[in-house]
Amino acid sequence: MTEPAPPSGKTSSFGFRDVDAREKVRLVRGVFDSVASNYDLMNDLMSAGVHRLWKDAAAAKLNPRPGETILDVAGGTGDMARRYARMARQAQERRGGSDASVIVLDYNAEMIMAGVNKGGEPEMSWSVGDAMALPLPDASVDAYSISFGIRNVADVPQALREARRVLRPGGRFLCLEFSRPIAGPIRKAYDAWSFHAIPRIGEWVAKDRDSYQYLVESIRRFPDQPTFKGMIEAAGFSRVSVTNLSGGVAAIHFGWAI
């Protein structure tokens, strides 16, 4: 796979550090090479299983339909894609139509292999690719989603422009991502949990404290809900909405390619 090449001299955040954007690509790949085999278990431990409810809410918001082509970027082990495939099939059984196509795309081959080994649904296909340079034609998909992955991209505005490019007119964009708790007490409790507990859990379970320290720091560096909403609008999306989950610990950003 060809390495993506953000512009020379452009910086991007890697946790609390600012690094060359091209270096971030390499560093993030190393993180997910390391965490791939324990990724789903760690998600359960870090969120006490609440991430499953967030993903259910996001899938319901995307509302997969029979016959659609759905692109799940940073799809990793396929958690969201399995939801999309099952929901589209259930809708097909109710009202007919052709099979949906759900493409799982991730930059990290180790994550894709972990998902393949976990098993998929008949509608799913797997691909290694770059969110900043999607290997798809213009206006070729009906829905685009990225869940807990956009903050790991070296050039977020470029990834958003790519999402807009591949969506057909009337297509749907959805991003599920950790965000900014809207109440002070929730923010303090979440900071205490994430900065103190999550790296320790990573050390005990995955034998990798540093990768989980990065993941926690990357959440803190990610733009808050209004700022990210503005970035989505700047990429060409309309009617962008924000739905806070668990008091803003995570948020769904949703927009239309119209």
pLDDT in tens, 72-130: 999 989 999 999 999 999 999 999 999 999 999 999 998 899 899 999 999 999 999 99
| pLDDT confidence tier of residue 183, bands split at 50, 70 and 90 | confident
Residue 14 has pLDDT above 90, yes or no: no
Quote the percentage of the chain above a pLDDT of 90.
Answer: 59
Q: Which amino acid type is present at position 12? A: S
Least confident segment among 129-143, 159-173, 203-217: 203-217
Q: Is residue 5 within 8 Å of 26, Cβ to Cβ?
A: no
What is the per-residue pLDDT for 5? 47
pLDDT of residue 1: 34
Give the residue-averaged pLDDT of 131-135: 97
23 confidence band (pLDDT: 50, 70, 90): low
Specify whether the CB–CB gap between 22 and 5 falls below 8 A. Answer: yes
| pLDDT number for residue 218 | 81
Residue 11 has a pLDDT of 72
pLDDT(237) > 60: yes
pLDDT at 68: 98
Q: Kindly report, residue by residue over 42-77, the tens digit of the pLDDT.
A: 667 667 789 999 999 999 999 999 999 999 999 989
Instruction: Tell me the pLDDT band of 31, cut-offs 50, 70 and 90.
Output: low
Q: Which pTM was predicted?
A: 0.85
Cα three-residue angle 22-26-30, rounded to 5 degrees = 160
Average pLDDT value for residue range 140-156 = 94
Nearest to 83 by CA among 68, 72, 92: 72
Sketch out the chain's domains with CATH numbers. Answer: 11-182+214-257 (3.40.50.150)
What's the chain look like in SS3?
CCCCCCCCCCEEEECCEEEEHHHHHHHHHHHHHHHHHHHHHHHHHHHCCHHHHHHHHHHHHHCCCCCCEEEEECCCCCHHHHHHHHHHHHHHHHHCCCCCEEEEEECCHHHHHHHHHHCCCCCEEEEECECCECCCCCCCEEEEEEECCHHHCCCHHHHHHHHHHHEEEEEEEEEEEECCCCCHHHHHHHHHHHHHHHHHHHHHHHCCHHHHHHHHHHHHHCCCHHHHHHHHHHCCCEEEEEEEEHHHCEEEEEEEEC
Strands 238-245 and 17-20: unpaired
* Model confidence at 34: pLDDT above 70: no
At residue 219, the pLDDT reads 82
Query: Sign of the CA dihedral 15, 20, 24, 27?
Result: negative
CB under 8 Å to 74, separation ≥6 — which residues? 105, 106, 107, 131, 146, 147, 148, 149, 150, 152, 153
pLDDT at residue number 225: 97
pLDDT of residue 29 exceeding 70, the answer is: no
Q: Is the pLDDT of residue 187 over 90?
A: no
Residues making up the annotated binding site for S-adenosyl-L-methionine are 77, 106, 130-131, 147
Q: Binding site: residue ranges?
A: 77, 106, 130-131, 147
Two tokens at 13? 């955040």
Distance, in Å, from the CA atom of 48 to the CA atom of 176, rounded to the nearest integer, reads 18
Average pLDDT, the chain: 87
